[in-house]
Amino acid sequence: MTYSQMSAEERKAEYARLQKEFDDLKAKGLNLNMARGKPSKQQLDLANGIFDLMRDPADYVTDGIDVRTYGELTGIPSAKRLFAEVLGCRPEQVFVGGNSSLQLMYDTISKAYTHGLLHSPRPWCKEETVKWLCPVPGYDRHFKVTETFGFELVSIPMTDEGPDMDAVEEAVKDPAVKGIWCVPKFSNPEGIIFSDRVIHRMAALKPAAPDFLIMWDNAYCIHEFEGDFIPFPDMLALCAENGNPDMVFEFFSTSKITLPGAGIACFACSEANIAYMKKLIDIQTIGFDKVNQQRQVLFLQNKAHMLEMMRQRATIMGPKFRCVVETLDREVAPTGIADWRRPKGGYFVSLNAMPGTAKRTLALCKEAGVTMTSAGATFPYGKDPQDSNIRIAPSLPPVEELEQAIAVLCVCLKLAALEKLGL
């Protein structure tokens, strides 16, 4: 019987039973964290081989370039070839940077703000208003980047196949709308893969702003934890075919393949955009860490080898995601108070609690020693109008701890829902 079908008496009895369960869980003094998409120790250990590399002096030279000294601002050729192979674009379209794709994203927006992009009539700081499209629920750090530059964040609903393209096509008629965030494969937090139809409509947009920018964050493009690798189209080629060669910047990093914070990141875009950005970045730095670029390339080798590595990681990640979804199916589904997605890759499970209960649920979780991403984080300005979406990040805790953390979450979801329904 679902909670809304229960009589007031039945709900009261259920609440008392759950309260006891909650007190017992609290008494365990748990300290568990499902807040951010951090790989577990077991997963990090899979990259330990990287520390044995670069011992032979021959490893310091690649394509005739000594990686130990200045030069090659846009990255070493072997790293460009590797990322181009993964993303399906050409090496000339790849700029390999430092340890974080988020930093490259921030820098791209920052340069648009201070200097403008290739087709900007003026730097964005000179615009009266800059509006930015944010598919929701989405990645909190994306939203904060555009918020920090004072852009007006416009929510675009996500559908099962990506952002609502009717809403996007309507919004881009406004010349103040300068761009959109996209995580096209295994979106954060819903794990949605944009459909071909959505991708084609996105590439064919005819925005009023001449410098409209698609921030195509392909962070999880080889991050399947269930099933076979799903090939994905090259957005750069699609935009070019649609007469928009300079409209997209794609981002990728090895953070969730080798070591977060100690991997390498890139952006990929038209050669005209590469030339434009190169000129600006040349003033900012003499070059990124090519020693690490070389180390990562030696470790990762090629796309086939990377996919093999990801299959290994999937044996660690898969059981964790199954634990989350199966526990929710068993414990929460019969109550009818929430629904959740069943991702096959990426780093998150997105759950929609009964409207008006996400904050209360997470406050209860905290009280019982389980830290989750704060409620609202998946929406612009940290405000979920429904107070419903909860992002679960199961990658960090070992399965035994995860089982406890999800048990806590299930009890808290139910307590919050019963309180909302009235006791």
Ligand X SMILES: Cc1ncc(COP(=O)(O)O)c(C=O)c1O
Q: Which residues bind ligand X (CB under 6 A)?
A: 37, 100-102, 139, 183, 188, 217, 219, 253, 255, 260, 265
Between residues 5 and 284, which has the closer beta carbon with respect to ligand X? 284
Are the C-beta atoms of residues 349 and 324 closer than 8 Å to each other?
yes
Compute the C-alpha angle 242/190/151, nearest 5°: 60
Amino acid in position 317: M
- Looking only at the bridges linking them, the beta strands covering 265-268 and 248-253 are antiparallel
User: Taking the complex as a whole, how short is the minimal distance between the CB of residue 201 and ligand X, in angstroms?
Assistant: 21
User: Taking the complex as a whole, how short is the minimal distance between the CB of residue 261 and ligand X, in angstroms?
Assistant: 7
Between residues 108 and 253, which has the closer beta carbon with respect to ligand X? 253
User: Taking the complex as a whole, how short is the minimal distance between the CB of residue 275 and ligand X, in angstroms?
Assistant: 24
Are the C-beta atoms of residues 86 and 80 closer than 8 Å to each other?
no
User: Taking the complex as a whole, how short is the minimal distance between the CB of residue 379 and ligand X, in angstroms?
Assistant: 15
Between residues 102 and 328, which has the closer beta carbon with respect to ligand X? 102
Distance (Å, rounded) from C-alpha 371 to C-alpha 34? 6
Distance (Å, rounded) from C-alpha 363 to C-alpha 358? 9
- Looking only at the bridges linking them, the beta strands covering 32-34 and 370-372 are parallel
Q: Which two tokens stand for residue 334?
A: 């019969």
Question: DSSP label at 214?
Answer: E
Neighbours of 393 (CB within 10 A): 21
Q: Give the distance, in angstroms, between the CA of residue 392 and the centroid of all CA atoms in the same chain.
A: 13
User: Taking the complex as a whole, how short is the minimal distance between the CB of residue 312 and ligand X, in angstroms?
Assistant: 20
The residues, any chain, with a CB within 8 Å of residue 345's CB and separated by 6 or more, are 185, 186, 191, 220, 223, 224, 225, 226, 230
User: Taking the complex as a whole, how short is the minimal distance between the CB of residue 9 and ligand X, in angstroms?
Assistant: 45
User: Taking the complex as a whole, how short is the minimal distance between the CB of residue 28 and ligand X, in angstroms?
Assistant: 29
Q: 261 — alpha (psi -120 to 50), left (phi > 0) or beta?
A: left
Distance (Å, rounded) from C-alpha 323 to C-alpha 336? 19
Strand partners for 158: 163
Q: Whats the size of the chain, residue-wise?
A: 423
Between residues 218 and 294, which has the closer beta carbon with respect to ligand X? 218
User: Taking the complex as a whole, how short is the minimal distance between the CB of residue 361 and ligand X, in angstroms?
Assistant: 22
Between residues 139 and 143, which has the closer beta carbon with respect to ligand X? 139
User: Taking the complex as a whole, how short is the minimal distance between the CB of residue 188 and ligand X, in angstroms?
Assistant: 4
User: Taking the complex as a whole, how short is the minimal distance between the CB of residue 34 and ligand X, in angstroms?
Assistant: 13
Among 227, 141, 218, which Cα is nearest to 185's? Answer: 218
Amino acid in position 27: A
Between residues 127 and 217, which has the closer beta carbon with respect to ligand X? 217
Are the C-beta atoms of residues 267 and 104 closer than 8 Å to each other?
yes
Between residues 265 and 362, which has the closer beta carbon with respect to ligand X? 265
Distance (Å, rounded) from C-alpha 262 to C-alpha 199? 31
User: Taking the complex as a whole, how short is the minimal distance between the CB of residue 355 and ligand X, in angstroms?
Assistant: 25
Between residues 3 and 299, which has the closer beta carbon with respect to ligand X? 299
Among 249, 130, 240, which Cα is nearest to 122's? Answer: 130
Distance (Å, rounded) from C-alpha 101 to C-alpha 104? 5
Between residues 185 and 420, which has the closer beta carbon with respect to ligand X? 185
Q: Which two tokens stand for residue 36?
A: 């951010």
Between residues 91 and 260, which has the closer beta carbon with respect to ligand X? 260
Distance (Å, rounded) from C-alpha 290 to C-alpha 76? 7
Q: What is the three-class DSSP state of 84?
A: helix
Between residues 102 and 297, which has the closer beta carbon with respect to ligand X? 102
